[in-house]
Amino acid sequence: MPTVNEIRAHFIHYFEKNGHNPVSSSPLIPHNDPTLMFTNAGMVQFKNALTGLEKLSYDRAVTAQKCVRAGGKHNDLDNVGYTARHHTFFEMLGNFSFGDYFKDQAIKFAWDLVTKEFGLSKERLLVTVYADDNEAESLWKKISGLSSNNIIQINTSDNFWAMGDTGPCGPCSEIFYDHGPSIEGGPPGSANEDGNRFVEIWNLVFMQYEQVNHDTRIDLPNPAIDTGMGLERISAILQGEHDNYNIDLFKNLIDASVKYSNTPAENEKLISHRVIADHIRSGAFLLADGVSPSNEGRGYVLRRILRRAMRHAHQMGCKEPLLHLIIPTLVSEMGDVYPELKRAESMIIDTLLHEETSFQKTLSRGLHLLEQASTKLNPGEKLDGEVAFQLYDTYGFPLDLTEDALRADGKEVDIQGFNDAMNKQKDDARANWTGSGEIGTHELWFSILDDFGATDFLGYELYSADANVQVIIKDGKRLKLAKSGEEVIVIFNQSPFYGEAGGQLGDVGYLSSVKGLDAKVTNTQVITGGLLIHTIKICSGEINLEDVVNLKVDAERRQRLRNNHSATHLLHASLRNRLGEHVTQKGSLVADDRLRFDFSHNKSISIKDLNAVESEVNAQIRTNSFVATRLMSAEKAIESGALALFGEKYGSEVRVVSICEETNTEPYSTELCGGTHVKRIGEIGFFKIISESATAAGIRRIEAVTGQEAEHYFISQENLIRKSSSLLKVSPTELPGRIAALIDEKKQLEIDIKKAQTQIVTGGISSDNSETKAINGITYIGRIVNGVSPRDLRGLVDKIKNEIGTGIVTLISIIDEKASLTVGVSKDLEEKFSAVDLVKCAVSELGGKGGGGRFDMAQGGGPDTEKVPQALKVIEEEIRKKSKL
C-alpha cells in the first residue's frame, strides 16, 4: 500500500517523465494575488502565466501545492473533523500547460495516470463535462472507452471555471471515483449527488476563452490547461479508505495526539483528534510561511484555527499545552518535502506553546460560562443567544466555536438571539455616536454596516489589493456610478488603506481597473464599526457598483507614517524612563512629515532632559529591534504592562505592539495600538525633537521628525547657521557670543529709547503748561503719544501723576493699528473719580469693550483709531460732569 509521500512522488515523476517541469510549492501567502487571503489552488502561482501577463521559461509544469481554505468564501473550517474530506490544509497535485498541449493530451495524461499508473478500475470511474463541451465528451469516449452513461453533462458553474467577471475562462471536466453501493449517494448531476459514494478526485480546466464583458466571449490565442487533484483524496482511494483521516499521514498525527493527550481516539474524542491533526498542519505551515497569530487578516485566521484546536484539546481533558508536542511528528512526515517546516520547527513549537498557554485562562473562563449555561439544556434545545454573544464579545469565542462545542451534545445556539444581541450593540453604538453629529450621515453609515458589515482591512500586510465596489456616495446619497472629474466616497469589501485612527492619518493612493478607471484616493477614514471610507477624485474613466478595482496605497508615504508611529512609541517610553511613570499619552498626531505627542507633565522640560530623551530614542533605533504584534485580552495586556491610550474603549481582545531586541527579552516598549508600524525599528533612521511646549495645564507637547524629514531639518538648520554667520561676519562657533552681544546692545538701546520717550511725553509738563487744563479746580492732562506700548503707557502715566501731584492723566497710543488707553487718578481724587469708569467711557467710543484696572489706574482700548480725539473729549466731559457733583 503506497504512502502519501510515495503517491505525491509518483504523481510528480509521472508528469516529469512526460516533459513537465517540476515546480516547488509557492508559499501560502500569495505573492502575485493580493485578493486572496491564502493560496488555495495550484494555479495561484501561475496566474500571470495563465493570463499571458508573464512568460515562463517552460510551457509545462507539475506541482504539489500546499493550500489553506479557512477564510473568506473558501472556508472549510466549520466542517473539519465532522466529515471525511474537509480540511483547512490540503495538498493539490496539478499539471499545467501554458499554450502547449490542450484537451486531448490533458485527458490522456489524466486517464493514463489514474488507470495505468495508479491502477484504478475503469468500472469505478466516471467523468463530467460541461454541457456545451462536445469536444471534451468526444475525447473522453475516444481515450477512455467510457460509455455515454459514465460521461455526464453538467450545465452549472461547477463545470465552467472563470478567473473573474472578465479574463480567461473555460469548461471543466471532473473525474469521479465510485466507492460502491455500501455508501449513500448518487452520481454528479443526480438528486442525491451530495452523498459520499461518488468522490471527485481530479478537475481538469480547459482555459480556452477570454470573457471580454458580460455579453462577449472570444477564443484565447493560446489555450491553457490547469488541473487539480487533492492528494488526501487520491491517497485515501489508493490506500483502500473512504475517509481521508484514515490515510497514513493523518493516522500518524492522530496517534501523536492520542499519545500526548493520553486520550484514546474513540467516540466523540475521535472528532477532536481529527480536528487537531488537521489544524496542526494548517497552523504549522502558516507559521512557517511567516504568518503570526494576531487580531487582523491572516493572523486572525491562524489564531482562529489554533484556538479551535485548543478548544478540542481542552474538551478531551488536556490541562497542559498539547499542540506543540505534535510538531516533531508533522516535521517527520512532511519536512523532507517541505523543508521550511524543518527550518522553522523551533519557532513553530515556541509560538504554539505561547499561544496555547496564553489562551488557556481565557478558554477556561469562557468554557466555564458555556458549560454553566449548556448543562441546563436538553439535547435539541438552544443556548441563549445573549450568552453566545457574551462569549463572542468578552472571551473572543467566534460563534462557530460555540456551535462546535455544543454540537457533540446535540445542542444548538439561538442564532436569532445572538443576532439580536449583536444588533443591540449596534444600536448602542448609534446612541453613543461620536461622529459629525449629522443624523442623516451617520444613519447612512450604519445602514451600510448593516448591509455589508465592516471592511476587511488588509493593510498590515499588503499595500495593494483588488476589491469589489460596494457603495458609492456623493453629497450623502448612494450612487450607482461616478464619472471622470467627480469627487466621491467609495466603500469596498476589503482594502489595504488605513483609515485615520489613533492619531495616525489615513492613507492616500490610487485606484485603477481594467475598465480604464484612474483615480486618486485623497483620504481614508474609519467609521465606528470598522467601515473604511475612501474619498476619491476620478481622473479618468468611471467607477460602478460591483466593479473590481485595484487599490494601491502610496507606499512611500505609508512608510513615513510607519516610521513616525513607531517613533512615537519610542518617545513615549523614553519620556517615562527620563521623567517618570506619571507620563501618559494625552493625544498624538502621526503625519507623514512629522509627529506630535501630547503627554502629562506639570512643568517644562529642560534642554538636558530633552537631549537625553532624544539620545535614548536614537540609541534604540540603532539596536534595530523587532516590532512584534500580538493579540490578547485587554485585561491581560494592561496587567502585563502594556500602555493603554487615553479615552480609548477596548474590546475583549486587543492588538499589542512591542519593541524588543530579541524575541525572549524584556520589551523596551509595549502599547495597545491598532496603527501601522515598521518591522524593525532601524527603519526609522533618525529621530529629532524640533519643539517642546505647553498645550494646557499639566499637558506638554513634543513635535519631532524622523528619517528623511530629520535630514531635511538638519540641512535647513545648518543653512540658517551659515547664513547667520555670513550676515554677522563671524564663524559658526562665534555665533553665540556675537548674538549675546547684540542682545545686550538692543536692551541698552531700548532703555535709551524709553528715556527719550519719557522726556518727550513729560517734557515741560507743569500746572501752567498749555496742555494742562483745570476743570472745576481739577488738574487734567490728556495727550496722544503714538508708538508707545500699553505697558510703557502705565509707567508714563505714573510719572506724570507724580510730577503734577494731584489730578487726572489720560494717555492714548496708537500701535499695531489699535488704540491703547491708560487713565491715572491721584489718590486724593479716588473718592470722586474712578479710573475704571473713565476708561469705560472712552473704550466704547473706540469700538472696544470693557476696560479694567484699579481706581487709581486703568487701561482699555479699541480698533477705531480715528476716534482717539473724541475719546479724549469724552473723558474730559465725564470729569467736568462729575466734578460738579
Give pLDDT, residue 70.
82
Written in H, E and C, the secondary structure of 310-358 is HHHHHHCCCCCCCHHHHHHHHHHHHCCCCHHHHHCHHHHHHHHHHHHHH
Dihedral sign for Cα atoms in the order 431, 436, 439, 443? negative
State the residue for C-alpha cell 485587554. 634
130 and 8 part of one domain: yes
Residue 78 pLDDT exceeds 70: no
Residue 734 falls within a domain, yes or no?
no
Residue 498 pLDDT exceeds 50: yes
Largest CA distance in the chain: 136
Residue 386 and residue 421 in contact, taking contact as beta carbons nearer than 8 Å: yes
567 and 639 part of one domain: yes
185 and 239 part of one domain: yes
Give pLDDT, residue 450.
78
Residue 477 falls within a domain, yes or no?
yes
At 647, the pLDDT band (50, 70, 90 cuts) reads: very low
Residue 751 falls within a domain, yes or no?
no
Residue 362 pLDDT exceeds 50: yes
Give pLDDT, residue 756.
66
> What percentage of the chain carries pLDDT values higher than 70?
91
Give pLDDT, residue 314.
86
Closest CA to 338 of 249, 246, 256: 249
CA distance 22 to 26: 12
Residue 484 pLDDT exceeds 80: yes
Instruction: Pull the grid cell for residue 168.
Output: 480567461
At 33, the pLDDT band (50, 70, 90 cuts) reads: low
**Contacts from 179-182 at CB under 8 Å and sequence distance 24+?**
179/242
At 760, the pLDDT band (50, 70, 90 cuts) reads: low
At 441, the pLDDT band (50, 70, 90 cuts) reads: low
Residue 595 and residue 564 in contact, taking contact as beta carbons nearer than 8 Å: yes
pLDDT tens-digit map of 170-186 = 999 999 999 999 888 88
- State the CATH number of the domain containing residue 615: 3.30.980.10
CA distance 127 to 104: 15
CA distance 564 to 684: 7
Residue 165 pLDDT exceeds 90: no
Give pLDDT, residue 575.
96
- For residues 550-572, give the mean pLDDT: 97
Residue 841 falls within a domain, yes or no?
yes
Distances (CA, A) of 7 to 92, 232, 250, 348: 12, 10, 15, 27
- For residues 857-861, give the mean pLDDT: 92
222 and 154 part of one domain: yes
- For residues 351-370, give the mean pLDDT: 81
Give pLDDT, residue 766.
43
| From 134-138, 158-162, 572-576, 667-671, the region with the lowest mean pLDDT | 158-162
205 and 335 part of one domain: no
Residue 655 pLDDT exceeds 90: no
Give pLDDT, residue 764.
46
Residue 678 pLDDT exceeds 70: yes
Q: Burial code of 345-356, b = ≥16 C-beta within 10 A, e = fewer? A: beebbebbbebb
Residue 713 falls within a domain, yes or no?
no
| From 255-264, 291-300, 323-332, 527-536, the region with the lowest mean pLDDT | 291-300
- For residues 780-794, give the mean pLDDT: 85
25 and 135 part of one domain: yes
Closest CA to 809 of 781, 832, 789, 834: 781
CA distance 848 to 853: 15
492 and 563 part of one domain: no
- For residues 97-115, give the mean pLDDT: 96
Closest CA to 256 of 360, 289, 248, 357: 248
Of 246, 267, 284, the position where a domain reaches its end is: 246
**Which H or E run includes 284?**
helix 267-288
Instruction: Pull the grid cell for residue 217.
Output: 466571449
CA distance 105 to 111: 10
Query: Domain residues for 785?
Result: 764-883
- For residues 587-602, give the mean pLDDT: 91
Give pLDDT, residue 770.
45
457 and 476 part of one domain: yes
Instruction: Pull the grid cell for residue 323.
Output: 499542540
CA distance 690 to 708: 14
Q: Give the mean pLDDT of the chain.
A: 87
Q: Give me the number of domains the chain comprises.
A: 6
At 315, the pLDDT band (50, 70, 90 cuts) reads: confident
Number of neighbours of residue 741 by Cβ within 10 angstroms: 11
- Residues whose CB falls within 8 Å of the CB of residue 705, separated by 6 or more in sequence, listed in order: 593, 594, 595, 687, 688, 690, 712, 713
Give pLDDT, residue 402.
83
Give pLDDT, residue 473.
95
382 and 260 part of one domain: no
CA distance 282 to 70: 9
Of 553, 574, 591, the position where a domain reaches its end is: 553
Please, where are the H alpha helices in 729-861?
A: 735-762, 790-804, 835-845
96 and 213 part of one domain: yes
pLDDT tens-digit map of 504-527 = 999 999 999 999 999 999 999 998
118 and 171 part of one domain: yes
- For residues 846-858, give the mean pLDDT: 85
Residue 719 falls within a domain, yes or no?
no
At 759, the pLDDT band (50, 70, 90 cuts) reads: low
Give pLDDT, residue 453.
85
At 767, the pLDDT band (50, 70, 90 cuts) reads: very low
Residue 742 falls within a domain, yes or no?
no
pTM: 0.52
Give pLDDT, residue 173.
95
At 143, the pLDDT band (50, 70, 90 cuts) reads: very high
At 435, the pLDDT band (50, 70, 90 cuts) reads: very low
620 and 546 part of one domain: no
Residue 309 falls within a domain, yes or no?
yes
- For residues 666-676, give the mean pLDDT: 90
Backbone angles phi, psi at 660, to 5 degrees: -150, 150
- For residues 691-702, give the mean pLDDT: 84
At 63, the pLDDT band (50, 70, 90 cuts) reads: very high
Number of neighbours of residue 210 by Cβ within 10 angstroms: 19
- For residues 237-262, give the mean pLDDT: 96
Give pLDDT, residue 429.
53
- State the CATH number of the domain containing residue 456: 2.40.30.130
3-state SS, residue 191: coil
| From 19-28, 31-40, 598-607, 622-631, the region with the lowest mean pLDDT | 31-40
CA distance 493 to 429: 21
| From 422-426, 475-479, 752-756, the region with the lowest mean pLDDT | 752-756
Of 246, 271, 303, the position where a domain reaches its end is: 246
Residue 294 pLDDT exceeds 80: no
At 582, the pLDDT band (50, 70, 90 cuts) reads: confident
At 373, the pLDDT band (50, 70, 90 cuts) reads: confident
Closest CA to 301 of 285, 325, 277: 285
Residue 150 and residue 126 in contact, taking contact as beta carbons nearer than 8 Å: yes
735-762 and 707-728 helices, crossing angle to 10°: 60
Give pLDDT, residue 396.
65
Closest CA to 449 of 385, 497, 493: 493
